[in-house]
């Protein structure tokens, strides 16, 4: 099996790069790098610019993957760059996957919803509020329209301990003191998500699947739990209302994971359970 992992320098990509060789040592793993040009002595590392269709085609032709873990994305910055990377780039990759017959695991996000209701199922219609969310919602449309053998994996806040995810690291350092009490999410432990992705790579499921943690928490509650798990002081965290922030953000993006729990052998975990395992 030849595997292509996009976004290998990202948080999820790094975790997959660490876990795939232990879980599937027989797989021939190829990864993409974006901001760093790989040197010639790294035959399994390929430069990829998702905004450039010919770059996507070059990597696909070279690797000829059976399975693609598509984690690369841009979550902030220039709107055009973000749309080009997330929506158009995912479309280029999906169309190349459709042509070659590769199975595509595409990473999507809970923020494609407007957050007015919560507990979203796979059948609920996205209504993105932010530029990032629009780019991810359109990415889904492009992947679905490509006809690729694809799973659109909708996930939530990705967290982990070794290494810490960038958000938690910033909270720990006091860089993000204000945490919203009215933004609900279903955070997922990165190893749990990787396990689910690996299983999806090898099963026959196609279409949208919510893969998130089983516990709905506000960003504030989540931050406090993580600080306690890390034996860190949480008194610097300021409970803040997103509704008072003046910024338009989706409030309740909790995902209903009952379909994933039927489709997958992988048990999706609650934050409490993960913390208990890590610290117990």
Write out the residues near ligand NAP by the rule CB under 6 A: 7, 9-13, 33-35, 48-51, 71-75, 85, 107, 109, 136, 155-158
How far apart are CB 96 and ligand NAP at their closest, in Å?
A: 14
| 3-class DSSP string for 109-147 | EHHHCCCCCCCECCCCCCCCCCHHHHHHHHHHHHHHHHC
- With the C-alpha atoms ordered 133, 139, 142, 148, is the resulting torsion angle positive or negative? negative
- Of the pair 79, 233, the CB lying nearest ligand NAP is at 79
Instruction: Tell the smallest beta-carbon distance from residue 246 to ligand NAP (Å).
Output: 23
Closest approach of ligand NAP to the CB of residue 141, in Å: 15
Nearer to ligand NAP, 99 or 169 (CB): 169
The residue number with the shortest CB distance to ligand NAP is 10
Helix ranges (H only) for 9-130 are: 11-23, 53-63, 79-83, 89-100
Cα dist. 186→45, 196, 262 in Å?
A: 33, 15, 18
Find out whether 189 and 160 touch, Cβ atoms under 8 Å.
Answer: yes
| 102 vs 108 by CB, closer to ligand NAP | 108
Q: Which is nearer to ligand NAP, 107 or 209 (by Cβ)?
A: 107
Query: C-beta of 132: minimal distance to ligand NAP in Å?
Result: 8
Question: For residues 84 and 231, which CB has a smaller minimum distance to ligand NAP in the complex?
Answer: 84
**CA–CA distance, 136 with 61 (Å, rounded to integer):** 25
- For ligand NAP, give the closer residue by CB, 15 or 263: 15
Number of residues in the chain: 280
User: Minimum distance from CB of 23 to ligand NAP (Å)?
Assistant: 18
CB of 156 to ligand NAP, least distance (A): 6
Rounded CA-CA distance 19/192 in Å is 11
């Amino acid at each position: 099996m030849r595997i292509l992992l996009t976004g290998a320098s990202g948080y999820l990509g790094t975790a997959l790069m660490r876990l795939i060789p232990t879980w599937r040592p027989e797989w021939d793993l190829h990864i993409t790098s974006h901001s760093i040009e790989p040197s010639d002595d790294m035959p399994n590392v390929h430069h990829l610019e998702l905004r450039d269709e010919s770059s996507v085609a070059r990597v696909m032709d070279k690797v000829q993957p059976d399975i693609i873990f598509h984690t690369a994305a841009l979550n902030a910055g220039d709107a055009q760059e973000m749309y080009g990377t997330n929506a158009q780039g995912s479309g280029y990759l999906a169309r190349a996957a459709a042509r070659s017959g590769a199975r595509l695991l595409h990473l999507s996000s809970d923020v494609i919803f407007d957050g007015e209701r919560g507990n979203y199922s796979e059948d609920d219609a996205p209504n993105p509020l932010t530029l990032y969310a629009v780019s991810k919602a359109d990415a889904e449309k492009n992947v679905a329209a490509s006809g690729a053998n694809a799973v659109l994996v909708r996930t939530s806040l990705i967290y982990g301990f070794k290494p810490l995810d960038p958000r938690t690291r910033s909270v720990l350092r006091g860089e993000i003191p204000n945490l919203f009490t009215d933004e609900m999410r279903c955070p997922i432990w990165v190893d749990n998500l990787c396990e689910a992705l690996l299983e999806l790579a090898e099963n026959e499921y196609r279409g949208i699947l919510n893969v998130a943690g089983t516990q709905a928490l506000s960003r504030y509650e989540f931050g406090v739990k993580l600080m306690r798990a890390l034996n860190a002081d949480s008194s610097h965290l300021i409970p803040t209302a997103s509704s008072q922030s003046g910024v338009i953000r989706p409030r309740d993006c909790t995902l209903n994971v009952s379909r994933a729990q039927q489709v997958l052998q992988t048990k999706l975990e609650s934050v409490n359970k993960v913390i208990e395992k890590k610290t117990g």
